[in-house]
Structure 1
Amino acid sequence: MSSVHAQKEGPIKLKLASFFPGTHPAETELVQGWAEAIEKATDGRVIITSYPGETLLKAADIYNGVVDGVADIGLSSFSYNSGRFPEIEAFEQPGIVYKNSKSASKTAWEGIQELDPECVQDTKLLMVIATGPGDLFTRKPVNKLEDLVGMQIRATGLTADTLALTGAVPVGMPQSDAYESLSKGIVNGNLAPIEVLKTWKHAEVTKHLTRTPFLYNNLFYITMNIDKWNAMPEDIKNIITEVSLEYQEKVGIGLWDRQNQAALKWAIEEEGIEIVELSEEETQRWIQKVMPMQEKYIEKNGEAGIRALETAMRLAEKYNDEY
């Protein structure tokens, strides 16, 4: 179909489902900026309407919702569908330390392009960004491994299995349910990037932060229904690809770094949150506890798992040096 014909038929209107609140920078800075840039670059031939805050699809339903055409585009976390994306789980394995979200995001995107895994071929992947290191926010202080034993911690996907090895009791729930659960004492903590202290208001219900960059990395995707993508004119595909790469680089890869810095300052100054820095000796105790996750991953995924894990480690080293 020619671009002129497409214009005569009216603009291509796309629905985007996201679990992030409408006030979250992932919505206000990334999604809205990206959607506006695509509309402008296509001269109004593509109009994207975002449905944030799980108003169209719940977090765990977004990927399948895109596959099934309930949404044309989806923004969510791979970790909400544990086991569905085996190669991608390599980039979230504990024991791999990412210096920041830029390093983690560049590692993830380049690694996924290199591996080209079958698990994401049923949609058109437009962006992958990562949080980088995450930390433990708790109602009671966690100064050593023993303090975590028996503590109920909100976690999803791979991080839930990781936490279980430390002696904690992982409780699966989306980030959107964590505030209420923390405030009511249903869970005693959360393992997440620092930004949740402010953007999800968790500093109001947790008063202690233990730095654990070796425990956590979370990958998010923006992906499109494959039939919708294939039906688009080539010039529009090229524009969407170009704008997506631009926004991934300009906004996406550093999104959590910017949020984390602002949130930590705010949480300390406004909410009085206390920071616990583990000693090197204590850090190694924690790492030794969770390293079986990598062994389990290789056992489950064989040669493909080895390749994915080696790719993640190699690129993490490269981009930690760069960023």
Structure 2
Amino acid sequence: MIVRSILLALTLLVAGCARPAPEGVTELSYASPYGPNHPFSKADQAWMDWVARVSKGTLRIRPNWSGSLLSSDMSMEELRHGVADIGLITPIYSRGGTHLTRIQAGFYSSAESMPSQLALFDCMLASSPQLASELHGLKVLAVQGGPSLGIVTRNRALHSLDDIKGLRIRAPTELLTVLGSLGADPVNMPMNEVYSALAKGVIDGVVAPADTFRSLHFAEVASYYSTLRIPRGAYPSRAMGEAQWNALSEQQRDILQRGVAVWQDALMQELKVAWQKGYDEAVHSGVAISGMSDADQRRFDALYLQDAERNARGLDRFGIDGLAVFRTARASIAARDQVRCSKQGE
């Protein structure tokens, strides 16, 4: 009750501060925890420009950057209550109600390209009413994947999996047990809190792509980067409250529906560019970059898959058939960078 009252107050405050749109123009608010120069935000702006162009200016998006409206861990609930019309969501950090969405992010072994990650998520979503139910009250406007992850560390180079032992490492939910089995002390936190945690020594490292050396300035607080290939999962990342979606005209909904592919393509392009710029920034800043042996990579890949299946089985306690979704994912990956939807048992 208290949370709903706060959300309502915020909604009224935002509504009171916003200037009315000109006659014939529908203005929708967009909220992101990132600043306007972040790669995510550049993709967001490309999508906004497309919407304005295709709608001939009758549908426009008003951005609110840097966490001014939505929080990282309550963004989905806040959108459902109309704190913003559209927003960047992070179901993998949500406080509750997204168990399967978080766990499925660990089912992406061999889906290394971003198009294959998005195709695999769509495959699992189509096969699982339980996965779809976690998105109730929302209209998803973009799904996001990304380049393979590595490990950024403050003051220890990682030349083998054994070097991970004893380090406190921020990682997404689906990797916590894997890192724990290697002797690390894994923790989960929103990515926008990691810079401070690294700078203060609260954590020793973070599982992250190379773009973070530039986009999140990790080159300022970390000295090493391991190129151990850690699979990247896809997840719904941009959404609109269902009530706001239903209030739009059919023509406006059609524009936003067509914009899903536009937004996803923009995200993929910006992430590719950002990864290379981040890697170059790491090299320029003197970050020591090291790889691991093929044997260590195979060992990690095996642990990753074993843990994914174990996590899928563990969802039984919530009444969720995670194992069926895991099996769908494995059956749907025909080869590296190729995903086909196939029914379990084909």
TM-score between the two structures when normalised by the length of structure 1: 0.86
Counting matched residue pairs gives 313
Distance verdict in 2 for CA 1:113–1:20, change over 3 Å? farther
Match of 1:47 among 60, 80, 86: 60
Distance verdict in 2 for CA 1:128–1:218, change over 3 Å? closer
Question: Does 2:106 match 1:93?
Answer: yes
What is the CA–CA distance in structure 2 between the aligned matches of 1:37 and 1:183, rounded to whole Å?
38
Question: Does 2:320 match 1:307?
Answer: no
Give the secondary-structure state (helix, strand or coil) at the position aligned to 2:315: helix
Q: Kindly indicate whether the alpha-carbon contact (under 8 Å) linking 2:79 and 2:86 is maintained by their aligned counterparts in 1.
A: yes
Distance verdict in 2 for CA 1:238–1:318, change over 3 Å? farther
Give the alignment's Cα RMSD to 1 decimal. 2.6
Q: Which residue of 1 aligns with 2:93?
A: 80
Unaligned runs of 5+ in 2: 1-20, 340-346
Which runs of structure 2 are paired with 1:78-157 in the superposition (5 Å)?
78-81=91-94, 84-93=97-106, 96-115=109-128, 117-139=132-154, 140-157=156-173
Match of 1:67 among 67, 70, 80: 80
Match of 2:298 among 262, 281, 284: 284
Q: Which residue of 1 aligns with 2:343?
A: none
Distance verdict in 2 for CA 1:45–1:69, change over 3 Å? same
Q: Kindly indicate whether the alpha-carbon contact (under 8 Å) linking 1:155 and 1:170 is maintained by their aligned counterparts in 2.
A: yes
What is the CA–CA distance in structure 1 between the aligned matches of 2:35 and 2:22, rounded to whole Å?
35
Q: Kindly indicate whether the alpha-carbon contact (under 8 Å) linking 2:92 and 2:101 is maintained by their aligned counterparts in 1.
A: no
Question: Does 2:245 match 1:229?
Answer: yes
- Partner amino acid, structure 2, of 1:305: G
What is the CA–CA distance in structure 1 between the aligned matches of 2:95 and 2:235, rounded to whole Å?
12
Match of 1:26 among 40, 45, 62: 40
What is the CA–CA distance in structure 1 between the aligned matches of 2:85 and 2:38, rounded to whole Å?
21
Distance verdict in 2 for CA 1:254–1:315, change over 3 Å? farther
Give the secondary-structure state (helix, strand or coil) at the position aligned to 2:166: coil
Distance verdict in 2 for CA 1:212–1:92, change over 3 Å? farther
- Structure 1 residue 14: Cα displacement: 1.3
Distance verdict in 2 for CA 1:37–1:95, change over 3 Å? closer
Distance verdict in 2 for CA 1:203–1:94, change over 3 Å? farther
TM-score between the two structures when normalised by the length of structure 2: 0.81
Q: Kindly indicate whether the alpha-carbon contact (under 8 Å) linking 1:127 and 1:244 is maintained by their aligned counterparts in 2.
A: yes
Distance verdict in 2 for CA 1:142–1:218, change over 3 Å? farther
What is the CA–CA distance in structure 2 between the aligned matches of 1:24 and 1:161, rounded to whole Å?
30
Q: Identity of paired residues, percent?
A: 22
Deviations for 1:148-188, whole angstroms, at most 9, x for unmatched residues?
A: 12211122433334422322112332222211221221111
What is the CA–CA distance in structure 1 between the aligned matches of 2:222 and 2:107, rounded to whole Å?
23
Give the secondary-structure state (helix, strand or coil) at the position aligned to 1:34: helix
Q: Kindly indicate whether the alpha-carbon contact (under 8 Å) linking 1:124 and 1:223 is maintained by their aligned counterparts in 2.
A: yes
- Structure 1 residue 102: Cα displacement: 3.2
Deviations for 1:10-45, whole angstroms, at most 9, x for unmatched residues?
A: 4222111112222112112x1111112112222322
Range that drifts further, 75-84 or 19-28: 75-84
Q: Which runs of 4+ in 1 moved over 6 A?
A: none
- Partner amino acid, structure 1, of 2:162: E
Give the secondary-structure state (helix, strand or coil) at the position aligned to 2:110: coil
Q: Which residue of 1 aligns with 2:342?
A: none
Range that drifts further, 79-88 or 174-183: 79-88
What is the CA–CA distance in structure 1 between the aligned matches of 2:189 and 2:101, rounded to whole Å?
20
What is the CA–CA distance in structure 1 between the aligned matches of 2:276 and 2:333, rounded to whole Å?
21
Distance verdict in 2 for CA 1:174–1:86, change over 3 Å? closer
- Partner amino acid, structure 2, of 1:51: N
